[in-house]
Amino acid sequence: MATKPSRTLETFPNPKPERDYVIRFDCPEFTCVCPKTGQPDFATIRVEYVPDALCVELKSWKLYLWSYRDDGAFHEAVTNRILDDLVATVSPRRARIEGAFNVRGGIATTIVAEFQK
């Protein structure tokens, strides 16, 4: 396989660091595993951030999200970890991660985690 999951996020210089602007992207194919049952959890991860000096490179983001596929994680923990990793990598002016998890057991869960510099 030419590519494989990776927890390494790559960056590139913000092309307009003097301006506040919002980067948004939706990731509708996120999967992880329920730590209690081992069953798969499916979610849409929505990202919104205002970059400072760096932006996250999207292919590395795709491989990063893929790395959660076999991880057992509660929705709250995985959403907050994704925010922590984004903040640690690009140090944005602000960031918001929303994990909208599909229905399982009759319950749909949405977790929102935010960071402000």
**Which residues make beta-bridge pairs with 13?**
54
Catalytic residue among 20, 27, 32, 41: 41
Q: Which of 27, 34, 52, 84 is catalytic?
A: 34
CB 72 within 8 A of CB 38: yes
Give the start-end residues of each E strand in 5-81: 11-13, 23-33, 40-50, 54-56
Residues 60, 64, 66, 67, CA torsion sign: positive
Cβ atoms 35, 77 nearer than 8 A: no
User: What six digits make up the tokens of 16?
Assistant: 């307009």
Answer yes or no: 70 catalytic. no
Q: Quick check: is 41 catalytic?
A: yes
What residues act catalytically? Answer: 34, 41
